[in-house]
Amino acid sequence: MKIIVTGGVGFIGSNFVHYIYKQRPDWQITVLDALTYAGNRDNLKGLDENRVKLVVGNTCDAELVDKLVADHDAVVHFAAESHNDNSLENPRPFLDSNIVGTYTILEAVRKHGKRLHHISTDEVYGDLELDDPHKFTEHTPYNPSSPYSATKAGSDLLVRAWVRSFGVQATISNCSNNYGPYQHVEKLIPRQITEIIEGRRPKLYGTGENVRDWIHTEDHSSAILTILEKGKIGDTYLVGANGEKDNKTVIELILKLMGKNPTDYDHVNDRPGHDMRYAIDSTKLRTELGWAPKFTDFEAGLKDTIDWYKANHDWWQPQKQATEAKYAKTGH
C-alpha cells in the first residue's frame, strides 16, 4: 500500500503518520505538505526516510498532485488552514487550501481512479444549545459559522458531489476537537500549557461556558485507519469519544495539573460568532465498523500532553512569540 498524507507534518496529520508507521509496517507513506506556519518537518523526526518521504508542495498545485496521485494507491487528505481565529482575520488562505486544494485532490483521484479519505470537522454542523439533548449525527444539516468551517463544509460537499457525479471512491470523516502532542500553540490547550510554562496566565474567551467534545488525536488516527480500510464508499462517519467539557473546566484542570491555583486565569475578548457547543454521536462508526476510542480518561491524556510540552520546549518555543503577538492585536 502506498499512501499520500496531505498536511502530514501538521498536528493531526503527523500523529496519523506516526500511527500508520507503527500499525502498518509494510506501507509506504508520502507526505505532501506546503510547510505553512502550521507545518513542521521535525514532526517526522525519527521515522525511516525509506518508508516516509516528505514532498514540500501545495495541494493547489495540480501538476504536482496529479503526478503523485498517479503513483500511489490512496490519499488521506488532512491539508487545510485549520484555525478559526485566523479565518476571522484573513479568510482568503482558507478558500485556497480548503476549497481549491480539495478540488485539486479530487480531480487527481478521479482521473487516476484512486481511493480518497477526506478529513473534516464537526464544525460543519454549526453549534448546539448547551441543553440540547441531541448530538451531531451523519444526518445533521450543514450550518457552518466561521469562514474556516464554511470552507470545510464546502470541501465536504465537493467530495460528496465527486462521489455521486463521477464515482470517485471517497469517504469522509467529521471529527471533534483533538488534543495531544504536536498541536500548534495557537490552539486552546497548548496555548494555555505554554503560557503557564512561560510564567503567564491562561486566557479564556468570553465566559468560558462554550463546550468542546475532546478526543485524543491517536483515537482520531485509529478511526481514520478503520474508515480507510473498512468504510463504505460514499459514506460519512462522525468521530468522537464522548469528551464534552466547557472551556472554563479545561483551563482550570490544566492549572490544577500544573500545580497552580485553578482560578489563576484571565477572561479576554470573546471570538466573534463563537460556536457554543459541539457534541458528536459516533454510533455509526462504532456499530458498523467496530471502532472504539482507547484514550477515554481526559485527565490522564491531558497530563501526558502537558508532560510532552514540558519536554519539547524547543519544538514549540519558536512559534510562541509570533502567536501571542497576533493574539495581542485582537485582544485575545
User: Which residues are the active-site residues?
Assistant: 122-123, 148
Task: Return the C-alpha cell found at 32.
Answer: 505532501
Residue of 235, 249, 88, 226 lying closest to 171 (CA atoms): 235
Tally of CB atoms within 10 A around 256: 13
Q: Which is nearer to ligand NAD, 163 or 238 (CB)?
A: 238
- We find the least distance from the C-beta atom of residue 259 to ligand NAD, in angstroms, to be 27
Binding region for ligand NAD (CB under 6 A): 6-7, 9-13, 33-36, 38-39, 58-60, 78-82, 97, 101, 119, 121, 152, 175, 177-178, 184
The binding track of 212-231 with respect to ligand DAU, each residue x by CB under 6 A or -, is x-------------------
214, 149 in Cβ contact below 8 A? no
Residue 191 binds which entry of ligand DAU, ligand NAD, none, with Cβ cut-offs from 5 to 8 Å by kind?
A: ligand DAU
Instruction: Please give the distance of CA 293 from its chain centroid, rounded to a whole number.
Output: 16
Instruction: Please give the C-alpha separations between residue 218 and each of 27, 197, 229, 230, in angstroms, as whole numbers.
Output: 18, 25, 17, 18
Residues between 242 and 271 that touch ligand DAU (CB under 6 A): 247, 271
If one asks whether residue 323 binds ligand DAU (CB under 6 A), the answer comes out as: no
In 65-208, where do the E strands start and end?
74-77, 115-121, 170-175, 178-179, 203-205
Task: Return the C-alpha cell found at 64.
Answer: 504536482
Q: Which is nearer to ligand NAD, 38 or 163 (CB)?
A: 38
- We find the least distance from the C-beta atom of residue 197 to ligand DAU, in angstroms, to be 15
Instruction: Please give the distance of CA 281 from its chain centroid, rounded to a whole number.
Output: 18
Q: How far apart are CA 72 and CA 114, in angstroms?
A: 8
Residue 247 binds which entry of ligand DAU, ligand NAD, none, with Cβ cut-offs from 5 to 8 Å by kind?
A: ligand DAU
Q: Which is nearer to ligand DAU, 77 or 187 (CB)?
A: 187
**Span from 1-9, 21-29, 53-61, 197-205 in contact with ligand DAU (CB under 6 A):** 197-205
Q: Which is nearer to ligand DAU, 8 or 115 (CB)?
A: 8
DSSP 8-state symbol, 280:
B
Q: Which is nearer to ligand NAD, 90 or 264 (CB)?
A: 90
- We find the least distance from the C-beta atom of residue 121 to ligand NAD, in angstroms, to be 4
Q: Which is nearer to ligand DAU, 115 or 122 (CB)?
A: 122
Residue 72 binds which entry of ligand NAD, ligand DAU, none, with Cβ cut-offs from 5 to 8 Å by kind?
A: none
Q: How far apart are CA 120 and CA 138, in angstroms?
A: 12
115, 169 in Cβ contact below 8 A? yes
Tally of CB atoms within 10 A around 48: 8
Instruction: Please give the C-alpha separations between residue 225 and each of 39, 64, 75, 274, 308, in angstroms, as whole numbers.
Output: 22, 25, 12, 31, 24
Residue 212 binds which entry of ligand DAU, ligand NAD, none, with Cβ cut-offs from 5 to 8 Å by kind?
A: ligand DAU
Residue 204 binds which entry of ligand DAU, ligand NAD, none, with Cβ cut-offs from 5 to 8 Å by kind?
A: ligand DAU
Residue 10 binds which entry of ligand DAU, ligand NAD, none, with Cβ cut-offs from 5 to 8 Å by kind?
A: ligand NAD
Q: How far apart are CA 49 and CA 64, in angstroms?
A: 20
Q: How far apart are CA 2 and CA 25, in angstroms?
A: 11
Interface residue list for ligand DAU (CB under 6 A): 82-84, 121-123, 176-177, 187-188, 191, 203-205, 210, 212, 247, 271, 278
